């Protein structure tokens, strides 16, 4: 694979957003709703909508003519879906960038491009890492032919690299990426999890609170790092224990619904996968691959099964799968390949989640780049 010439990284000004102003983007008026920073709250009488953007793979094949075009197309997909569905929140479900194609320490340029459609609309977001986000740079064989190695331009982002010494081919770590994501943008709800779970970084929980009382939870969103890239594709035993202890602490009686997000499907996905056509009780539109699960399983599925409050798990990784299937007490769902980067030419789209309070419900469907919607499923009614 090839490399990427670093471009000047834009430094974003620090946003202190409490009330957000209307925005005009792409010819249509997008009115951002008032929102208190660092609080995800249902608005009275309205559902809370989340868009899942999976496998964007920004920065892939950036040295070719068509590589950068992929990123332009991916931005268009996200923009049209955000304008159509107007979600309250965006979850980037891993493989935001293709780090193994980015030969500079600072991948933040691509990171910022990938997140720009949500940021430009003042829609808050959270991320989990996939197996490509901190993957090691892979030297393209063709760079050693007559074409040679493209000139390397270093980023000017001093927050990530300390001058020429860091301008090389070593890639950007999970910690650098998440620090960048959290850093200057108050719209980011991403967190780096507890240190004792490292090298697994994106492990945290967010609360969606009730319209009546910002202290009262409607649902908890759990983000778990399923590894890959710089270390094995796995959710560790320590992560499973962290989920157990955290959920027991903040939701001891399992009264509040819990929704789970990570990148690489667990092995349980293989056991529920439809063979051929997607028939009830599964719901979806493409089943074009076999499930590519994590390398090992160290207890997270048992931990989830032990809690009656867990509603569904959402993953990306397999670009040719978009189904939801029930598994014992909850649902296992794929997102929908959103990016033009990454393998496969299946039409691009995004899985949308819709949460209501009183009574709690969790519905989902897929919105495509062309605006069509399909695969409606009620995951909890």
> Whole-number minimum distance, CB 208 to Zn ion, in Å?
27
**Under 8 Å between Cβ of 92 and 112:** no
Least separation in angstroms between residue 246's CB and Zn ion is 27
Output 310 or 366, the one with its CB closest to Zn ion.
366
Contacts for 268 with CB less than 8 Å, ≥ 6 apart: 301, 327, 332
Residues 210 and 357: their CA atoms lie apart, in Å, by: 7
Q: Among the candidate windows 48-56, 166-174, 243-251, 325-333, which touches Zn ion by CB under 5 A? A: 48-56
Q: Among residues 342, 176, 329, 331, which one has the least CA distance to residue 260?
A: 331
Contact call for residues 364 and 351 (beta carbons, < 8 A)? yes
Q: Nearer Cβ to Zn ion, position 3 or 342?
A: 342
Give the range of 21-29, 54-62, 232-240, 285-293 binding Zn ion by CB under 5 A.
Answer: 54-62
Give the integer Cα–Cα distance in Å for 259 and 280: 22
Tokens of 77: 């997909």
Provide the token pair at 56.
């964007």
> Per CB under 5 A, does 55 bind Zn ion?
yes
Nearer to Zn ion, 95 or 369 (CB): 95
| Contact window for Zn ion (CB under 5 A) among 172-180, 237-245, 322-330, 340-348 | 340-348
Q: For Zn ion, which is the closer residue by CB, 53 or 242?
A: 53
The least distance separating Zn ion from the CB of residue 328, rounded to whole angstroms, comes to 27
Least spacing, CB of residue 263 vs Zn ion, in Å: 8
How many residues are present in the chain? Answer: 381
The structure tokens listed for 34 are 């008032």
Residue (217 or 342) nearer to Zn ion, CB? 342
Nearest distance in Å: CB 124, Zn ion? 23
Write down the least CB distance from residue 318 to Zn ion, Å: 8
Q: Shortest gap between Cβ of 319 and Zn ion (angstroms)?
A: 6
Q: State which of positions 189-248 bind Zn ion (CB under 5 A).
A: none
Q: Which stretch binds Zn ion (CB under 5 A): 34-42, 55-63, 191-199, 224-232?
A: 55-63
Q: Rounded CA gap, 111 and 118, in Å? A: 12
Residue span binding Zn ion (CB under 5 A) among the ranges 47-55, 162-170, 239-247, 364-372: 47-55
C-beta closer to Zn ion: residue 265 or 342: 342
Beta carbon of residue 224, minimum distance to Zn ion (angstroms, whole number): 17
User: Rounded to the nearest whole angstrom, what is the least distance from the CB of residue 67 to Zn ion in the complex?
Assistant: 15
Q: How many CA atoms lie within 13 A of 238 on its CB side?
A: 12
Identity of the residue, 140 or 339, whose beta carbon is nearer to Zn ion in the bound complex: 339
Question: What DSSP designation does 359 have?
Answer: T
Separation between Cα atoms, residue 318 and residue 316, nearest integer Å: 6
Nearer to Zn ion, 2 or 157 (CB): 2
Q: 91 vs 167, which CB is nearer to Zn ion?
A: 91
Element containing residue 259 per DSSP (H, E): strand 258-261
Q: Please choose, from the candidates 138, 154, 121, 153, the residue with its C-alpha nearest in 3D space to the C-alpha of residue 31.
A: 121
| CA separation, residue 239 to residues 273, 328, 343 (Å) | 25, 22, 29
Contact positions with Zn ion (CB under 5 A) in 80-139: 95
Q: Can you tell me the distance from the alpha carbon of 221 to that of 326, in angstroms, rounded to the nearest whole number?
A: 19
CA separation for the pair 283, 376 (Å, rounded): 8
List contacts with Zn ion (CB under 5 A). 55, 95, 342
């Amino acid at each position: 694979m090839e490399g990427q010439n670093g471009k000047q990284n834009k430094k974003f000004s620090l946003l202190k957003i409490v009330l957000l102003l209307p925005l005009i983007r792409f010819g249509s008026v997008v009115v951002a709703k008032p929102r208190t920073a660092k609080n995800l709250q249902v608005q009275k009488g309205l559902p809370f909508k989340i868009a899942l953007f999976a496998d964007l793979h920004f920065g892939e094949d950036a040295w070719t003519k068509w590589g950068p075009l992929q990123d332009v197309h991916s931005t268009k997909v996200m923009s049209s879906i955000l304008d159509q569905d107007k979600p309250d929140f965006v979850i980037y479900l891993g493989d935001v960038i293709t780090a193994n194609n980015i030969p500079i320490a600072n991948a933040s340029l691509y990171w910022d491009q990938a997140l720009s459609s949500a940021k430009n609309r003042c829609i808050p977001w959270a991320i989990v890492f996939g197996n490509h986000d901190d993957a090691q740079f892979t030297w393209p064989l063709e760079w050693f032919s007559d074409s040679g190695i493209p000139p390397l331009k270093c980023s000017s982002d001093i927050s990530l690299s300390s001058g020429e010494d860091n301008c090389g081919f070593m890639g950007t770590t999970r910690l650098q990426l998440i620090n960048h994501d959290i850093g200057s943008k108050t719209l980011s709800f991403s967190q780096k999890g507890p240190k004792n779970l490292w090298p697994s970084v994106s492990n945290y929980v967010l609360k969606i609170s009730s319209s009546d009382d910002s202290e009262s939870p409607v649902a908890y969103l759990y983000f778990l790092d399923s590894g890959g890239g710089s270390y094995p594709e796995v959710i560790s035993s320590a992560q499973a224990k962290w989920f157990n202890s955290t959920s027991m602490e903040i939701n001891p009686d399992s009264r509040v619904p819990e929704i789970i997000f990570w990148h690489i499907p667990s092995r349980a996905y293989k056991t529920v996968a439809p063979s051929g056509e997607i028939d009830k009780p599964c719901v979806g539109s493409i089943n074009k691959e076999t499930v590519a699960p994590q390398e090992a399983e160290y207890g997270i599925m048992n931990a989830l099964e032990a809690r009656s409050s867990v509603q569904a798990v959402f993953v990306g990784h397999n670009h040719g799968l978009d189904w939801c299937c029930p598994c014992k007490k909850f649902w296992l769902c794929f997102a929908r390949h959103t990016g033009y980067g990454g393998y496969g030419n299946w039409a691009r789209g995004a899985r949308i989640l819709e949460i209501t309070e009183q009574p709690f419900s969790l519905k989902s469907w897929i919105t495509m780049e062309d605006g069509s919607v399909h695969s409606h499923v009620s995951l909890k009614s």
